Chains A and B, each alone.
Chain A
Amino acid sequence: MNRLDALRGTTPQKPHDARAIAALAANPGCSRRALMDGAGIDKDAAARHLGFPAPFGQSPFAITRGNAFEALVKADGCAELLRMLRDLLGLPIAEVAYHDVENVGAHLRHTHTRTLIDRAVRQEDAGTVYDHPLFTLDIAGHTAYLEPDVVAFQLGGRFHIVEIKSFAVIDGQADPAAVAAAARQAAVYVLALRGLLAELGHDPLRVSHEVVLVCPENFANRPVATLVDVRRELAVLRRQLTRMTTLDRLLDGLPDDLTFDLLPGEDGLPTRPVAELADAVRGAAARYAPDCLSTCDLCFFCRDEARQEGASDLLGRHVRDELGGVASVGEVLGLADGTRDAAAGQEEIARLLRNAERLRRECLT
């Protein structure tokens, strides 16, 4: 049996969505995350079972607003979108053909997407805008299905991914974190569509690295489109996906019997003893950073672990860099107090720490 499948055991595989795939690149140094994602573990369920539920949730208001905005952009044969594409990219008036891929049943949608895209490239059929296409992407040997609530469109033989987001652009500026997340997600779709073209024997570079980001402008509901270059995101994503196909090295370092199986019962709820699962998860090394708190379902578990280990990672990259990479809290304080001797290579940071400690004492007494 595939070693990754063994890690997952009897737990059903969690399909990757674009956001999850985009998040793979968030903390590339974390073996725990790479292994669990590679094996398709439901990290959210695991975290809950471990007693550290993830701190994420989406407000129903945000969901409603998102759906309403998407519907507005796509209403009446994508009338708003066509206006923006005509303005932004000079889409010719004749280019209006609209395909609602969701008109076919879910099980047919990927095949239908393939057919439509192939016909468009061969110019056998009018095809400008594709609503709700279904792409696939290979993640560590498993096929992930991606359903962009996005539209792909082509202009002059080139496809663009359109990403519709409901965060506002105000006086030409949007929340940079939100834009970055949208770019990462769009990059996943670009990669998937390029893969599809390659499979069909077409040039993958027909998919532009410039995606069209559609957001509401100012405080009105009126959508506005911006071109976003996602080359960097693509590069990071590719590197991370390649890494995931070469998990062997990480797997070699694991005990043979290690598994993250939740042992779901008949009702789907995990039955695995919590302590046992916790031990297994600890068997794969994590690299906790405060950024995990906004990207990874397991963050509270790993933070708790870092606390118990007294790791300076808890305080963030800046602090760790400032401390010259000395990893444990006890070690740093020992060097500062002079109760611990500097190991080879630590002389300089030890001298700085002793000085810092002396100055703090002098100023605070």
Chain B
Amino acid sequence: MSDRLDDLERRIDELRAGVRTAMRARDTATARTLRAELRTAERTWDTLVSGDGPATEHGPPAGNVPEESGQGAPRRARAHGAAARRGDGPRLVTVREQVHQALALLDAPAQARLIVAVSQAFFAGSIRSPQLTSLRRDEERSFRSSPYGRPYYLCAALTDRLSPARGLLTVSTWPAERRVVGPLSPRVDFLTCALRVARHLGGLPGSLPDGDRLLARMARNIPGAGDDAFGPPDPGRVVEAARRELRVHTRRDTRDRAQLAKRATSQLDDVAALFGAATLSTVAKESSTMRGGR
């Protein structure tokens, strides 16, 4: 057994070196082949070293394993086990329900990052940002196959071109004015979210460390909402400060949104009114220009 392990380790080292050499020469085809061999070798090594004998049933059936974003490569047995340990097994509340819960609390279009934070802080949520990337597309597909078949849909916020806004989620049951975004809306929505989080936190008995931390992060970016002092922010003060800044922007934002909502209702069909005017394919098109790196 240990001889086999030694051989395998040698083989794994060789393969790793081979992959890196190929990558340095930008020879992606060779690298891909070698990587596949490497994974096989690593899987075998894992199986041997954990003393489970030949690889048979290992970890939960593939169907139960939450899908990871992006990585096309098969995940290895050990990782399956790890995922199961994290408690991602059967969920009582689905991803879309958790997102809906968070959005209902926030009551304004929000980015995945904020939705996840709210869900974690107040609903013991287990969602992670990558799980939200495909959500909107799934919702759209569902809506197209049986319109209004569900009590609500998670959909896109619409830009001033009535196209879906990058990264902003809304709920279909909200009025159109809330589901569109003008130039001032991101700020107004941020302040609204902060206000809602503060109110929610203020209404809870006892303290909630995750909630305090979230509110502190938001309060930092609102003038007068909290000194830079450590310690939990005062929800009342955050509400007050958010309201104060909201008064500066509300009139113009409300006007912009009303106009946009009117355009959306008159120009868009049901699908586009919820999910945006541009087709999915144009949105997905990636730019061919180079990005400035960092």
Contact = CB atoms under 8 A, between A and B. Distances in A.
Q: Do A and B touch each other in the complex, judged by CB within 8 A? A: yes
Contacts of A82: 187, 221
Interface string A61-95: 00000100011000111111011001000000110
B186 A77 contact: yes
From B25, B185, B193, B293, residue with most partner A Cβ within 10 Å: B293
B292 A150 contact: yes
Interface in A8-35: 15-20
B118 to A, nearest CB: 12
Contacts, number: 118
Contacts of A103: 159, 161, 163-166
Contacts of A146: 289, 292
A15 B289 contact: yes
Contacts of A80: 221
Interface stretch (A104-112, A245-253, A337-345): A104-112
Contacts of A125: 183
A18 B290 CA distance: 9
Interface in B185-229: 185-187, 189-190, 193, 218, 220-221, 223
Interface residues of A, number: 51
A16 B292 CA distance: 10
Contacts of A149: 291-292, 294
A166 B193 CA distance: 27
Given A103-B166, A104-B163, A126-B252, A17 B290 contact: yes
A147 B252 contact: no
Contacts of A18: 292
B75 to A, nearest CB: 17
Contacts of A76: 110-111, 114, 186, 189-190, 193, 218, 221
A86 B245 CA distance: 13
Contact of B187 (A57, A98, A102, A147): A98
A83 B221 contact: yes
A307 to B, nearest CB: 21
B286 interface: yes
A238 interface: no
B184 interface: yes
Contacts of A71: 113
A41 B287 CA distance: 21
A19 B292 contact: yes
A164 B185 CA distance: 23
Interface string A141-166: 00001111110000000000000111
B292 A165 contact: no
A100 B166 contact: yes
B282 interface: yes
Given A76-B190, A83-B221, 6 more contacts: A19-B292, A75-B113, A93-B245, A98-B186, A103-B161, A149-B294
16 contacts: A19-B293, A66-B294, A70-B294, A76-B190, A76-B221, A77-B186, A93-B245, A94-B249, A97-B187, A103-B163, A104-B163, A145-B290, A147-B290, A147-B291, A149-B294, A185-B292
Give me the 6 closest cross-chain CB pairs, A-B, nearest first: A77-B186, A106-B287, A17-B290, A97-B183, A96-B187, A76-B190
